[in-house]
Amino acid sequence: MMGSPTILQWIIGAITLASALLVILGRNPIVSAISLMATMFATGLLYFSLGAHFIGVVQILIYAGAISVLIIFIVMLLDLRPTRVNIPGRAPVYVLSLVAGATFFVAAIFSVLPLLRAVGIGPLGNGQQPEEISMQLLSKYMIPFQATALLLLAAVMGVVVLGKKNMMSERIAKGAKKS
């Protein structure tokens, strides 16, 4: 980690940031969604370039392969049209947001990065093997692991319930509106 970043890391980093900017600046929601997929994929490539193969594969599998697909699905299902990025009358909000974001970024960069230069850790074991990660998950992070399993179960049930049409509450609401 003490060497300078390779050329490939520079290129992939640039692609990541360009895609991220396209996410927030794209007029068409589909362009934003596909740029999100590109950002996730590029971040996965950054993990690969670090040597963290397992996390890179997990990132591509879950983020780029499932979450982004879900987002694109919903955008197509709801048929979201291209919106205006700059709505008149909101200029003060944009300027303030830009100032806040830039201040945060510059402050974070200038406070965190110089600290990282001076840190000299000893031998770099390759802690990114799936065996080592699973040892951590099953010993030290066992409770968050089980809690995440419960959370996923609750999320699945919630999504199925929220997606049902023609629920009793909707029928009652429609009946009340008619009368």
Partner 1 sequence: MTFDIKDPSTWINWFTWCVIISVVISAFLLTWIPVMLVVERRAAAWMQRRSGPNRVGPFGLMQPMSDAIKMIFKEANIPRKAHKILFVMAPALAVLPPFVAMIVMPLGGSVNIQGTEYALQGFNVNVGMLFFLAITSLHVYSVLTAGWASNNKFSLMGGLRASSQMISYEIAIGICMVALVLTYGTLDLREIVKLQEYGSALPAWGFALQPVAFIVLWICTFAETNRLPFDLPEGESELVAGYHTEYSGMTFGMFMLGEYAAMVASSAFLATLFLGGYNIPFITEESLRQLFLDQGLHLTLASLITALLQFGCLIAKIFFFMWVFVWVRWTLPRFRYDQLMDLGWKMLLPIGVANVIVTMVVTYFLKRGG
Partner 2 sequence: MITQLQFLVGIGLALFSIGILGFLVRRSGIIALMSLELMLNGVNLCLVSFSKHHGNAEGSALVLLIVLVAAAEAALALSLFVSLFRQSGSVELDDFRLLKG
Crossing angle (nearest 10°) for helices 29-50 and 7-25: 160
Binder of partner 1 out of 7, 112, 160, 168 (CB under 8 A):
7
Binding mask 115-144 for partner 1 (x = CB under 8 A): --------------xx--------------
With binding defined as CB under 8 A, does residue 148 bind partner 2? yes
In this structure, the number of other CB atoms found within 10 A of the CB of residue 127 comes to 10
With binding defined as CB under 8 A, does residue 71 bind partner 1? no
Scored b (16 or more CB within 10 A) or e, 61-93 reads eebbeeebeebbeebeeeeeeeeeeeeeeeeee
**Nearest partner of 18 among 41, 38, 44, 46, judged by Cα:** 38
With binding defined as CB under 8 A, does residue 73 bind partner 1? yes
Amino acid making up residue 19: S
Please choose which of partner 2, partner 1, none residue 95 contacts, taking the beta carbon within 5 to 8 angstroms, the exact cut-off set by kind: none
With binding defined as CB under 8 A, does residue 9 bind partner 2? yes
Binding mask 13-32 for partner 1 (x = CB under 8 A): ---------------x-x--
With binding defined as CB under 8 A, does residue 63 bind partner 2? yes
